[in-house]
Structure 1
Amino acid sequence: MNEEQQIFHLILGNESNLDKSIQKSNAKIRVEELRQHLASKYSNTYVYVLEDIKTESFNLNFLLETHGGIFKYLMELIINFQEQSLDFKVYFSDDNGRIIVNQKVNSTIQFQLLRLQVSRYTLRLNSSLHVGSFFINPVYGEIGLNLATINTRKSEFFDSAQPIQDDFIVYMDSLILTAIYSIRYHYLRILFMINKINLKLFKLYEYYYEQVRYKDNQQLNWRKFPKDSEQLLLRIKKVVKNQMHLQFTEQEYLKLGPILSKQISTENSCLIEVVPKNQSELEVDERLQINEGGFCNIYSKEIIFAIKKEARQQQQGQKRTLVIKMNKGMGSDKIKQEAEIIQVLSNQGPNIQRENQPHYLQKYFQFSGCCPYIAQFYSVSDRPDVLLMERYYHSSLDYLKSKKSEVLSLSSRIFISHNVAMGLRYIHNYGIIHMDIKPANILISKTMMAKITDFGEAINTNNISDSNKPGKTIPFCAPEIQQRLENNQYTYAYDIYSLGVLIFELLFDRFPIVRLITIFQDFRKQNYKCLEDKLQKQIYQVRYNEDEDQKIGPQYLMKYLGRLCIQCLQPDPQLRPNIDKIILVLKDCLTFLDKVY
């Protein structure tokens, strides 16, 4: 390039820089025009303007409304001249700035449960909201409303040669009014959801709005707290605080029985006899093995079989992938013992009744031989060493948590807990103690239904055998396992303890039992001996701080769910909660979340 060409390019470059400088100056003038309009229209607030040099955009912030001198909505308008775009957002704020749905209380307790529940609520709102969409920032946790900004005449705003048109001003005013009314309707409900106000403050704000602030505006409305949800909270509190270890009285049971017995219907017996196409269908090798238990090997294989409906009638053959459980050793009869337990759970008839159980408790329980909360098993009459079982989509609960813990909502966690409790209610009514409730023995279907499996350690209280000593899985085994009791000395409270550990770990993402040395040290395999000693002496501690732990979700629910778990972990089996009361609390929590969130 010669000297003349260099001078020519330099002149062009200077002209280009000059054009950019003029455009930038015009943009600032345009933004100042808009700021002055907003300042004159909303004289009680101040409009802040921030410039982003890199993106050639301007950020206008101003206050829309204040409630109680504390909570506010803050309008943010981002004007990008390079892309000629307008972006309107409204943020929930308080005296500290934008309200953040925090990610952590401390280094161990996660806040994702709260975010997921509020996200669920916003998704419900957005499905029918036409003016924009509520959101939670996935990184920083800010919560607000993103307004839809469809304006066919927005190009007039970016045309600096003309003054701002009246149509655009009208459009801006309509957006601001839309934001105020949209936020105001859901404001109290969302503040309650993120634990910024409790129920007492919620009702106090409602009274203030109705009697003072908006007394003369009869058309103004907001989303009130459901009356029936308040009754649910009161019932949860009453049940958890008042002698959970006692059964419901006959009068209480007649009132609450329909709630306790309500479940997903199923017509399949817990144990169904099948006929394989041929014996080779049950042949397996180590390539098909998917897991290994203490007394059996577990395989997965696609087999062809027919369901035996009656002695001489068979259903048409079908081809499906099933789980095959086989004894490890030649002399082992664990599979046979497990099949016998499942056969008991498959029995039907009114004559089946647990010993020393009040007659009124059977009014809302059917001995149908079918339970949707127990895994589906299949038996082969001429192969007592083999037990077949359905293979479920999410595998076991511990596998589900390891893969999807960050997106597993509080509703899903309580739903799974309720399913397990319902399964235990069914099992206990048949006189069976499971003795090995833990996440590995809870299977999860595609619809998130929990199914209890692995009855190899179970005790049939109607036919007790001392030949089968139960094993123990720390930390899910109850402290009485350390007392080396006889099988006839164990009670249904053993399963309640295991259920309490399972629910606690599911809700709070940690095990409740810790070593006495330090309250923040979780158990590990090297600590088993120490923990066993604490269980035997019944001096174990529970790592639980109610003031902090209740903040990870809706604080009222988490408070009483935490107390429920603590009661399940009582050293004295007689003081552990009754299974019907556990089910009622979990069911009411689910109903509350569905109504409020």
Structure 2
Amino acid sequence: MQGLAQTPFDLFEPQQRLFRLPQKKSGVLKQQIFKEFIEKAQIKIKILDEENDNEVLFYTPILDISSFGYLSLIILKESSSTIILKHTLCYCNGKPYLIKDHQIRLLFTRCLNKINNIEKFSKYAMNPRNGEISLKDALFFEKETFQKFNESPLLAIKPMLELYNQQIHILKQYTKLILVVLEELPQIFNQYSDISFLSLNQINLQLLKVKMWLIDPDTFEDQSEINEQIKRQSQIVQKKDDLKILNEIEIIGDIQNIEQINKGGFGSIQKGKLEYIMNGKRESKQFIIKKDREDLHYQVKKVPHEINILKQIKDESNLFIAKYYYSNQPKYQNILFMDMYQYKSLDILKLQFSQTMSLITKLYIMWQIAQGIQFLTSKNVAHLDLKPANIVISKGYLAKIIDFGEAYHPDVCNGNPNYKPGRTLPYTPYSNNNDRQASYKNLDIFSFGMVLSEIVFDTYPVDFKRGALHKLEEKFSRGDIRGRLVKNYQRHFGPKHIINLLHCLIFRCIDEKENRPTIDWIILIVKTLQNQVEKIFSYHFPYK
């Protein structure tokens, strides 16, 4: 064996291999296991330093790539009877290769996902916080088997060798491809800061169209082409689902396992389990339960109003509206039930995954919200309280609009002097216009622009303080929408020109009512931009 090195970052020849060997001999994880593995795998060793008896670190050079390799780590966990083999992409001096740019980091995970879909064994992963690329897999054993490693280390060596050889095969097959993509991706990413007629390609043409649509849709020559694209984007293939938006049920017994989720001035949100009959079939599952305070006057209760709004679309089924249930039984007639969804609301999802959610995912969610608004608009429903807290996210990042307690429908609200929706600033700055239907028109477009800014840029497009919302309302009443978003964005938001177009779309949405785009236009623009972000990467990656 060669002499002891001080750190794993000392320069060495690419053909040499580095090991950090355990020196302790206590417990199940003895030095003999690692020595057996090293000998069987025919790995040359260079000792780095003493380490505990739980892990061993070594360098794996990649064939034909002299300046890169992998720091390979073996961890034996007695507590979970697990052996972990992990390989982290590094330079030949042992220093990990990190992708520093946040958006390129998120975009590059699509490359790794495509590789993972091809391979059946170990999976590539990206650390979303520091940009570290690694290949990792684990061996799980019964506790009794793991304890026998003390007596017979060869029991662990055979599966370790099999997994190690599989991983080395994957590393040799894909490392060169990964490095080529990593070299090209920043250049591709930067190409879209400017669009000129001197360098038009398929992506730039699409972005140029979006720019023209946003500036003045009527000036575009081929209006029939735009109308056809709007039609295609608006026709979503619905999943087969027998459930309507609002379903009548007959509840058996009492609500079980009730848990309080939230409580406000008008009522409470709870979680509970129901046994019920629907369409002649007896079922049991958990629901979200919404009910008003019992001491409220019926005229100001929100739940009966929400049920009446939902009854206007109860015979419809839409993928982007949550599923609701109600009962005509006297005990439950003023209670609304809703399905539970995996990620709860969009604001919670944003809080939990703000550092790891890619621009493609954000645009995909916003496109679905726009689809839900389009459906409601076609049914003469204005939501009037569209915000991240009123959008739930289910499996596969499927977005659904919820909470119709402030919603407007002419058959429900016209002629009702008690109907006066609340004002959730900064999302719904509507005026006190006497013509309600005209006043509420396009307000969901305004809300969409605010949500789009919050999700993509993590900020609102206008300056305001939470403690002085009355000043914000005064600004909106004056038509003052000067905001904090500027044209020189930091690149971590995404490709520069696409971000500029999103900026333009946001300010079109929160402009004066007559200048706001239709929801059909928004669907087309958001989907087009999402497709172009995907093309920036996938067009240059050979695996589909």
TM class by shorter chain equals: 0.5 to 0.7
Structure 2: distance between partners of 1:293 and 1:245: 49
1:39 is matched with none
Is the counterpart of residue 506 in structure 1 residue 459 in structure 2? no
Where does residue 578 of structure 1 map in the other structure?
518
**Cα gap change, 1:32 to 1:374, in 2 (>3 Å):** closer
In the alignment, structure 2 segments of 5+ residues that lack a partner are: 6-10, 17-45, 52-56, 73-86, 136-169, 539-544
Q: What is the CA distance between 1:306 and its match in structure 2?
A: 0.9
Provide the rounded CA distance (Å) in 2 between the counterparts of 1:415 and 1:486: 35
1:264 aligns with 2:238: yes
8 A Cα contact 2:453 2:459, kept in partner: yes
Are 1:192 and 1:202, in contact at CA under 8 Å, matched by a contact in 2?
A: no
Question: Could you tell me how far 1:199 is from its partner in structure 2?
Answer: 8.3
Q: Which amino acid in the other structure matches residue 439 of structure 1? A: P
Query: Matches of residues 41-120 of structure 1 in structure 2 within 5 Å?
Result: 75-76=67-68, 101-102=99-100, 111=102, 113-120=103-110
Residue 497 of structure 2: aligned partner:
556
Tell whether 2:288 aligns with 1:323: yes
Is 1:475 the counterpart of 2:449 in the alignment? no
Structure 1 position 531 matched with structure 2 position 472: yes
Segments of 5+ residues of structure 1 without an aligned counterpart are: 1-18, 25-29, 36-50, 65-72, 81-86, 92-97, 104-110, 147-174, 208-224, 308-313, 348-368, 516-522
Change (3 A) 1:277 1:201: closer
Pick closer, same or farther for the CA change 1:33–1:185 going to 2, 3 Å.
closer
Q: CA deviation at 1:305?
A: 0.4
Identity of paired residues, percent?
23
Once residues 326 and 531 of structure 1 are traced to their aligned partners in structure 2, the CA distance between those partners, rounded to angstroms, is 31
Deviations 1:53-78 (A, max 9, x none): 869999999xx9xxxxxxxx982468
How has the CA–CA distance of structure 1 residues 315 and 560 changed in structure 2, closer, same or farther, with 3 Å as cutoff? same
Residues 502-540 of structure 1: CA deviation (Å, up to 9, x unaligned)? 11101111222214xxxxxxx32x222322222222224
Q: Alpha carbons of 1:581 and 1:274: their partners in 2 closer, same or farther (altered >3 Å)?
A: same
Q: Residue 443 and residue 422 in structure 1: after superposition, are their counterparts in 2 closer, same or farther (change >3 A)?
A: same
Give 1:36-435 correspondences, 5 Å limit: 75-76=67-68, 101-102=99-100, 111=102, 113-125=103-115, 127-128=117-118, 140-141=130-131, 182=177, 186=181, 189-192=184-187, 195-198=189-192, 229=203, 231-243=205-217, 252-265=226-239, 266-278=241-253, 280-281=254-255, 288-307=259-278, 314-328=279-293, 329-332=295-298, 333-347=301-315, 369-383=316-330, 384-435=333-384
Contact map agreement 1:75 1:89 (CA 8 A) in 2: no
Assess, with a 3 A threshold, how the Cα gap between structure 1 residues 55 and 252 changes in structure 2: closer, same or farther. same
* Alpha carbons of structure 1 residues 256 and 192: separation in structure 2 relative to 1, 3 Å: farther
Give the conservation status (yes or no) of the 8 Å contact 2:344–2:392: yes
CA separation of 1:58/1:459 partners in 2, compared to 1, >3 Å: closer, same or farther?
closer
CA contact (8 A) 2:287 2:338 kept: yes
Q: What value does the CA root-mean-square deviation take over the aligned residues?
A: 4.6
For residue 354 of structure 2, give the secondary structure of its aligned residue in structure 1: helix
- Rounded Cα–Cα distance in structure 1 between residues aligned with 2:438 and 2:15: 80
In the TM superposition, residue 343 of structure 1 has moved relative to its aligned partner by 1.1
Conserved 8 A contact 1:550-1:556: no
Q: What do the CA deviations read for 1:269-301 (whole angstroms, capped 9, x no partner)?
A: 1111111114x34x89xx632123553322211
Q: 1:327/1:245 Cα in 2 relative to 1: closer, same or farther (>3 Å)?
A: farther
The change in CA–CA distance for 1:117 and 1:78 in structure 2 (over 3 A counts) is closer
Query: Hey, what does 1:213 align to over in structure 2?
Result: none
| Cα distance in 1, alignment partners of residues 378 and 219 from structure 2 | 17
Deviation at 1:568, TM superposition (A): 0.9
**1:540-593: CA deviation from partner (whole Å, max 9, x where unpaired):** 4211122224542133322212221121111x1111111001111122233334
8 A contact 2:508–2:516 mirrored in 1: yes
Q: Following the alignment from structure 1 to structure 2, what is the Cα–Cα distance between the partners of residues 510 and 244?
A: 31
Cross-structure match for 1:45: none
Residue 405 of structure 1 and its aligned partner are, at CA, apart by: 2.1
Preserved contact between residue 387 and residue 427 of structure 2 (Cα < 8 Å): yes
TM-score for the superposition, normalised by structure 2: 0.68
- Residues 98 and 130 of structure 2 are in contact (CA less than 8 Å); yes or no, is this contact kept in structure 1? yes
Q: Separation in 2 of the partners of 1:245 and 1:530? A: 37
**2:527 is matched with which residue: 587, 591, 594?**
587
Larger radius of gyration: 1
Q: Tell me, what secondary structure is at the counterpart of 1:378?
A: strand
CA–CA distance in structure 2, aligned partners of residues 58 and 453 of structure 1: 52
Separation in structure 2 between the aligned mates of residue 33 and residue 379 of structure 1, nearest angstrom: 69
Report the secondary structure of 2:355's partner residue. Answer: helix
For residue 493 of structure 1, report the CA deviation from its aligned partner: 1.3
Residue 42 of structure 2 aligns with which residue?
Answer: none
Alpha-carbon deviation of 1:118? 1.7
8 Å CA contact retained: 2:104, 2:186: no
Amino acid at match of 1:276: I
Residue 406 (structure 2) pairs with residue 457 (structure 1): yes
Q: Which residue identity does 1:239 align to in structure 2?
A: W
Deviations 1:143-176 (A, max 9, x none): 8x99xxxxxxxxxxxxxxxxxxxxxxxxxxxx99
Q: CA deviation at 1:340?
A: 1.3
> How many aligned residue pairs are there?
442
CA contact (8 A) 2:193 2:497 kept: no
Instruction: Describe the shift of the 1:339–1:60 C-alpha distance in structure 2 as closer, same or farther (beyond 3 A).
Output: closer
* Matches of 1:88 and 1:54, distance apart in 2: 19
Q: In 2 relative to 1, CA 405–551 (structure 1 residues): closer, same or farther, beyond 3 Å? A: closer
SS at match of 1:392: coil
Letter in 1 for 2:110: R
Distance 1:379 1:391 in 2: 15
- The separation in 2 between residues aligned to 1:88 and 1:302, in whole angstroms, is 46
CA distance in 2, matches of 1:469, 1:293: 18
Note if contact 2:190-2:495 (Cα within 8 Å) is conserved in structure 1: no
Question: Counterpart amino acid of 1:186?
Answer: V
Q: TM-score, normalised by structure 1?
A: 0.62
